């Protein structure tokens, strides 16, 4: 007969992951501050989106503190209590789900614009996202119903909802990154400065997508194979903050692009078609003046803007 796991074996790695999540929340707060400081001209809906994500992250972090206090103080040394699913764990999962759905919905909107408003592509991605949300809600319900980790880890229902829900999140991250990269590559303008911007965006999409995919794979692995540990719960807590930082990093990267490529900003009134500069990755014709003085239209996937070029290498790119 195998010995019962100690509280340290059950909670140790999970609490470390939760502490990492708090650090990631600090980065979220800094990024939100930078965003509201530099992008006052962004449309209200985008500022509201950033504010909502920051608020949800704050609420999520408060729940993390409650979880750590419950396991580390209230139920300290009592494995029978530690095995109970605290209400704050279930609620934090629900908030985490809202954050991930919001961020992935933002990227779906970006793909909709990049793909020249491809309905079928948006429908496919939205269906996968809706299915992933459904699995998450089912997992939340099972947490409240089963009430203890032992049953939650042994029942087939949680195994199905957690494994398939996280697998769909991983697949969604892969699809979003792949589609973004495809359209960015397809719409390269051939101009050195704009191509550098596209390369930057591609690298960012690959890096952020890879991080969230690795964490999602780790959640599934630890949930299925590490039965005596709650590490999967700690990783799941941290995953939402990775998505929030991905969103805020994408928005704040516009300032880096402006500084790196000497790109002046433009006001949101510049765009007359209802789109805003804050979206950064749009497909829009840009004007280029070549050596002969004639103007040609070049497709660019990096901005809603005009490019005036007086020579083969000199041109001004306007990126929000």
- Domains of the chain: which residue ranges? 7-261, 268-316
Supply the pLDDT for residue 268. 33
pLDDT per residue, tens digit, the chain (320 aa), is 455 566 666 777 888 899 999 999 999 999 999 999 999 989 999 999 999 999 999 999 999 999 988 887 776 666 666 678 889 999 999 999 999 999 999 999 999 998 888 999 999 999 999 999 999 999 999 999 987 888 888 889 999 999 999 999 999 999 999 998 898 888 777 777 777 777 878 888 888 888 999 999 999 999 988 887 888 989 999 999 999 999 999 899 887 777 665 555 543 332 223 333 334 343 333 343 444 444 433 333 333 333 333 333 323 322 33
The number of residues in the chain equals 320
What's the predicted TM-score (pTM) here? 0.78
Which CATH architecture group holds 7-261?
Up-down Bundle (1.20)
């Amino acid at each position: 007969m195998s010995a019962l796991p100690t509280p340290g074996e059950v909670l140790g790695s999970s609490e470390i992951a939760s502490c990492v999540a708090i650090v990631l929340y600090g980065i979220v707060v800094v990024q939100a501050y930078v965003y509201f400081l530099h992008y006052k001209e962004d449309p209200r809906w985008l500022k509201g989106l950033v504010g909502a994500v920051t608020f949800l992250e704050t609420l999520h972090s408060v729940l993390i503190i409650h979880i750590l206090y419950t396991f580390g103080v209230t139920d300290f040394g009592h494995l029978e209590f530690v095995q109970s699913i605290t209400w704050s764990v279930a609620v934090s999962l629900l908030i985490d789900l809202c954050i991930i759905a919001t961020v992935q919905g933002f990227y779906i909107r970006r793909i909709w614009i990049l793909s020249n408003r491809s309905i079928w592509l948006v429908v496919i991605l939205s269906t996968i996202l809706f299915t992933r949300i459904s699995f998450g809600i089912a997992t939340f319900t099972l947490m409240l119903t089963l009430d203890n980790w032992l049953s939650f880890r042994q029942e087939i229902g949680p195994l199905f909802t957690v494994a398939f829900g996280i697998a769909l999140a991983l697949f969604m991250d892969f699809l979003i990154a792949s589609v973004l990269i495809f359209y960015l590559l397809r719409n390269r303008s051939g101009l050195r400065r704009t191509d550098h911007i596209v390369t930057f965006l591609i690298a960012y999409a690959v890096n952020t997508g890879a991080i969230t995919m690795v964490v999602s794979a780790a959640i599934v692995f630890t949930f299925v194979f590490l039965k005596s540990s709650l590490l999967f719960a700690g990783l799941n807590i941290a995953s939402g903050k990775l998505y929030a930082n991905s969103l805020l990093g994408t928005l704040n990267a516009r300032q880096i692009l402006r500084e790196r490529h000497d790109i002046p900003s433009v006001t949101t009134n510049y765009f007359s078609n209802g789109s805003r500069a804050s979206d950064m990755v749009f497909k829009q014709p840009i004007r280029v003046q070549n050596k002969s003085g004639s103007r040609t239209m070049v497709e660019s996937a990096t901005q809603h803007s005009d490019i005036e070029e007086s020579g083969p290498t000199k041109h001004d790119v306007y990126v929000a």
